[in-house]
Structures are given as C-alpha cells and as structure tokens.
Amino acid sequence: MGKSRGSVDDSRVATGASTRRKSSGQPNWAGERFGAWLARPLASFLLIVTIATLLTVLGLVMVLSASSVEAYAGGGSAYSLFIQQAMFAALGAVAFYVALRLPLRFLRQWSFPIFSISVLALVLVLIPGIGSIHGGARRWFDIGPLSIQPSEVVKVTLIVWGAHLLASRRGAHLKDILVPLVPAGLLVCLLVVLEPNLSTTIALGIVLMALLWFGGLPVRLFVGILVTGLVAASVLALSAGYRSDRVRAFFNPGDDPQGVNYQARQAKYSLADGGIWGRGLGQSRAKWSYLPNSHNDFIFAIIGEELGFLGCMLVLALLALFVYAGIRIALRSVDPFLRLLTATATTWITAQALINIGYVVGLLPVTGLQLPLVSAGGSSLAITLFMFGIIASAARHEPEAVSALQAGQDGRLSRLLRLPVPEVYTPPSPPRKPAPRARTERPRQAPRRQPPADRRRRAPESRGTSSLRSTRAWEPTYPMPHRPVKRRTGGGSGT
C-alpha cells in the first residue's frame, strides 16, 4: 500500500513538473529543445560553423589513419601526408575567418577581377615549365612544399561572380542571363578538360547549372542545356582510355577483378569488413596497399571499415544537416545575391559529396571527385572552408540575425572572433516616373530642323542596351544596396 501511495505521489510530482514546464513555456523533450534552439537568430551561423569544424576534424583523423602506411612506405614518416593536410586545414581556417569578415560590397566589386585571375591561372597551369604534372595530368602549381590546384579555386570564383551577375540582372532578358555567364563557364570547363580533369569539369558543370536554375532560367531551356551537358560528359567519359575503362568497369562489375574493377571491388570489401560498429580507429586492413587512394578518393570506404555503419551515417547526417542549413539560409536571405550564392554553393558541395559516396558504394562510376572537407587534398580543403565561411557570413546577414547583432546580442562565438556587424540590405527603389505637367496653352512654333548628326546623337537608347550597359560583367560599379550599420550599445545574451 505504501509503495502504491509513493508511486502515486511520484506521478503527481512528475505531472506537476511537466505542467509547470508547459505553463512556463519551457520545452520538455529533445525535439522541442532543438526547435527552440533553431528559433534563435544566429542558429544558422552556429550550424555552419559546427558542421565545418566536425567534418574537418573527422577528415584530419581519417587522413592520418588512412595515409600512415603509404606515407611511411614512401618517405619514411607516417605523418608526412597528415602534416601537409593539417597545414592546409590551418590555411583554410584563416580563409574561413577572412570570408566571415569580408564585406559584401567588397566581395561583389572584386568578383569579376578575381574570376578573371583564376581563369588566367587555368591557362598558365597548362604551360610546360609552369604547371606541374602529377599522375599524368598538369593541374598544379608547386610552391615550395605546397601544391595549389587552380581548378579548385575557379569553382568558388565562378559561384561568387555568377551569383553577383545574375542578382544584378534580375528581370532582364534571357540573353542577358545567358551571356556572358554561359560562355565563361564553358571556357572554364574547356580549360579544365585540357588538363585533363573530368571530375572537376563535372563539378563546374554542376555549379553552372545550379546558377542558371536558381537564376530563373526557363525550364525548357534549362532541360535542353542539361541534356546537352550530359551528352558532352558522356562523350568525354568515353573519349580517353582510362575514363572509358572506368565506365566499362561500372557496367561490368564482374569483369577483370584484378584490373579495372580492382579499386571499386576493394572499396566494397572494405565497407563490408567494417560491419555495424567498425574494426576500430586505425585498424583498417585495406589501407595496407589493398585499396589505392584510400586517403583521398576512397576515404569513405576507410571510414566504413574503421568506424562502421555508424561512422558512415554520421557523415551522411552532417551532410543532411548542411543541406538543411544551406536551404534555410537561402530562404531567409532577403538579398538576391546571398540567395543565389548560398543555394548554388550548397548544391555544389552536396552534389560532390554524393558523387564521391556514390562511386565508393558502387552506385556510380568512379570519377575521382573528393569528399569535401574529409578527403586528402590541400587545395580542395582550403577552398571549401573558404566557401563555408562565405555561407556562414550569409547566415549572419539574415534579417533576424542582423537585428540581434545590431542590438548587441553577439553571442560568445561572435565576440570571440570579433566579427563586425553585418551590412543591412535595402532593396533598390523602383525608378520614379516624372509627374505629369499641367497643360498650358502656348503659341505653336514651327519645329526646328536638326542636322542628322544631332538626331543620331539624341536618339533614345533601347531598353536592352541601357540595361546591359548598367550591368556590365567587367565593371565593379553595379548597384549594391548595402550600407554599414553601427552597433547599438546594450546588453543581451544572443546566440
């Protein structure tokens, strides 16, 4: 009887506590707490910073584990590849911080000059004696112990310049949307194909198609361009011997298990060996020269072998959370430039990750695209972190975040990084029409005859010509309605 009375009392206490929580407005379970946290002004910013940090740390740990055997066999030190990756991670952290502090006005003004420099770098890397050859491809600039791949840089510069161009030409004619973005994108793809580098060409094609889609290209024309791009990619995949071998191996997985199908087969064995829980960190068998490029293209297989199915699901969960955060930032942004930029960058990073995971698990042909922030590759790591910094900066430009930061609710992370208050976006006002003048009767005068030269000089410009002149791709004088804001003095415990 005492036990039942005690249980009744406990239930009453629990019911009373839950009632008090509901009456006080406090969330009473994990989902509600996470939803309440997402409602905070700077939740998107913290999500992007957390995802970038977790993926980078996971990548460094797995690169150390996957590359130690190959590095020791090649140079005598098991940490050589890891140290190089850690150096680029530090460089990427600096780039992330710089991207957070870059004003949008500066980013948009210099988008085309920096894109032009990246295209020039793609030309220079093809010149013998300037570009370095690794693995039969001329893709790198060797600067001391570091190797820089300009094709990785051009992904970001194309996104920023393309978003700036399309945001400046909203409501323009179809020709103004396609030119000069599509010719510039095709030129970049051609230069990357000449390296040769089909995987990066595919990534650039994804960037270009995402820009056109989010820029408002008509569906019929978008589908036509997409089909043309797929046909061109198929022709390129079947044109070279090693690329056609990869396609043939994908459609015939049982043929030549010790030749063209060896790498894909070993990746599946590695994933199967991990099971649910994995063999343990550092306990991979495939990295002992059984799986080529285990620290680079096929690092997801090593994650599955050492961390198991749960480790793979952790990577997929972080990618899904990144997709959610990117879409959330794009939908909440009032600036068309930030909407285009964030949506395109999210599409590029997610598509590249899905392609990498797809060919590791055997759903796609092997292309060589890296897993963002996780695979070994210095240029890719640093440039992707810079892109994450731009997305995080876009998150701080959400209207609610701007209001909170303007009110002094910085939060611990913003105060620690000493980030400036973001600029306020004010949409450009439509041109005012002149008020009609009152008609007054005036004596009629004979019209004056003007010489032909004057008439040609005073001829009104067409609408397309005037809009094109006001949004030239090479001029940094676009209308950019951003103005800096001074921080208000006041307390607040922001996010």
Three-state secondary structure along 445-478? CCCCCCCHHHHHHCCCCCHHHHHHHHCCCCCCCC
pLDDT above 60: residue 22: no
pLDDT of residue 475: 43
The more confidently predicted of residues 467 and 27 is 27
Q: Which two tokens stand for residue 72?
A: 């020791």
pLDDT the model gives residue 377: 85
Q: Which residue has the higher pLDDT, 356 or 248?
A: 356
pLDDT of 366: 85
Q: Are 44 and 395 in contact (CB under 8 A)?
A: yes
> What are the residue ranges of helices labelled H in 76-197?
80-101, 104-109, 111-124, 150-168, 174-178, 181-193
Gyration radius from the chain CA atoms: 28
C-alpha span between 333 and 323 (Å, rounded):
15
Identify whether 180 is preceded by a cis peptide bond (ω within 30 of 0): yes
Arithmetic mean of pLDDT, 157-173: 90
- Kindly report which listed range (9-23, 132-146, 248-262, 452-466) carries the lowest average pLDDT score: 452-466
Higher pLDDT, residue 236 or 266: 266
Q: What is the pLDDT of residue 73?
A: 82
Range from 120-129, 146-155, 249-258, 401-410 carrying the lowest mean pLDDT? 249-258
Using pLDDT thresholds of 50, 70 and 90, give the confidence band for residue 332. very high
What is the arithmetic mean of pLDDT over 103-115? 93
Average pLDDT value for residue range 239-256: 72
pLDDT at site 479: 47
pLDDT value, residue 382: 93
Q: What pLDDT score was predicted for residue 470?
A: 41
pLDDT over 70 (residue 452): no
- How many Cβ atoms from other residues are within 10 Å of residue 7's Cβ? 10
What average pLDDT does this structure show over 321-342? 95
Q: What percent of the chain has pLDDT over 70?
A: 79
Q: Is the pLDDT of residue 47 over 80?
A: yes
The pLDDT value given to residue 431: 57
Query: Which residues on adjacent β-strands are paired with residue 483?
Result: 424
215 in Cβ contact with 330 (< 8 Å): no
What pLDDT, on a 0 to 100 scale, did the predictor assign at position 53?
A: 96
Is the pLDDT score of 156 beyond 90?
yes
Taking the C-alpha atoms of residue 19 and residue 24, their distance in angstroms, rounded to an integer, is 8
- CA distances (Å), 162 to each of 63, 178, 182, 204, in order? 33, 10, 9, 12
Lowest mean pLDDT, pick from 108-117, 196-205, 454-463: 454-463
Question: Lowest-confidence range among 110-124, 297-311, 440-454?
Answer: 440-454
Region for residue 184 given its phi and psi (left: phi exceeds 0; alpha: psi -120 to 50; beta: otherwise): alpha
Q: Which helix (H) or strand (E) segment is 311 a member of?
A: helix 299-332
Q: Looking at residue 471, what is its pLDDT? A: 45
DSSP character string of 92-125:
HHHHHHHHHH--HHHHHHTHHHHHHHHHHHHHHT
Q: How far apart are CA 381 and CA 88, in angstroms?
A: 7
Instruction: Report yes or no: 129 and 141 within 8 Å, Cβ to Cβ.
Output: no
More confident call, 412 vs 322:
322
CA 231, chain centre distance (Å): 25
